[in-house]
Structure 1
Amino acid sequence: MDVSTPVRDERAGKTPEIDWQAALAEHGRWLRTVVHARLGEPQAVEDVMQEISLAAVRQRAPLADASKIAPWLYRLAVTQSLLYRRKQGRRRKLTANYARQARPEQESGREADPLQWLLADERRELVRRALARLPRRDAEILSLKYSENWSYRELAERLGISPAAMQARLHRARQRLRNELAALEVTEGDL
């Protein structure tokens, strides 16, 4: 996946001017995933994406290296998400709207088996609850990995860290998710 961003003409001796409209269009999808992982509400994602766009266009110090746009946008997305949360005055869960939106699709016009539907719904709910109990960074990395289906390298480039560090973070996040799922299943089984 190419992470280069369009840059306007570079004038002699000056830092190249970045075409922010093109950069935001190119990186918008995964930025939305980052914001959604932090806020959990579709309308909030749109509000924060507007703030990210404004902040990118208004930034005063030009980026000297166009290859650093993705990590800079990532940091901007995280910052704007935190500012939005503070502005709202309450903490939002990672997966607040997933429960209402996630329902099994009907397969080729056939009714799904009610038992399978119920079991799948319960598994999704357990995963949602386990993700909500994880540190935000872990939930965000897992959401990006599995919703965007990116490699370690692609994730690392977007987040501005080394692939080895990304592999370690993802491994720890998966382990924490497994532990949370195990704890939830034991708790649910005891009821």
Structure 2
Amino acid sequence: MQTRRRTTTAVHERSAPRRRLPSIAKPPAIRIPVERIVAERGWIAALVRAGGVSPRDREDVVQAVILAAWMAVEEGRYHPDASVDPRRALRGWLYGIVWRKVGHHCKRAWVRREIPVADPWSVQPEPPRDDDVLVEARERLLSVRLAVSRLPRRDGEMLALAAIGHGIRDIARRLGMPSSTAVRRLDRARRRLRCLLERQGRAPPERAHTMISR
């Protein structure tokens, strides 16, 4: 029986040390006075405004950027390229800090959901919602919509106009018919809708009941 000799090339390749790529030397860290960072305040504020920060929070974000930049300098994390103009290098470095601070600010939950009011003490808490009541109201509304969709198009139009408060004369004018005809057709549409709702076994919601029995 002929056996196949197993090669161990792949094993040797995995166990062989990887060749390291030459690392790019980072420029040395330098310390700059905080006045140079503060001098870019107007430019920082323009970036913060472009990032979509609300006017009431812009000053806070600008202050956070300046403080973060100054702390980074003090910790030796500012490594500008000596071949680049000093102000251009500083702005390029500040650009990343600005957008990080702006992104963190805009993603906060209280920023997304906060609704400012003039008098916070006058705002009343929303009453607790009963999920069962909401589900029941939604089911009734869907039953009315389903019943209306089964009516002829002209009947649905007349019921919709009556539901939003239009009178007989206005309905007749909009649909291009005499007022007496509009009265008869609206009454017929209400009877048809009532029959469809009774077949579904659901009482219409209050607004629809008013529209039908009016």
TM bin (shorter chain): 0.3 to 0.5
Q: Taking CA–CA contacts closer than 8 Å with sequence separation of 6 or more, which of the two structures ends up with the larger relative contact order?
A: 1
Could you say which structure has the higher helix fraction?
1
TM-score, structure 1 length as denominator?
0.39
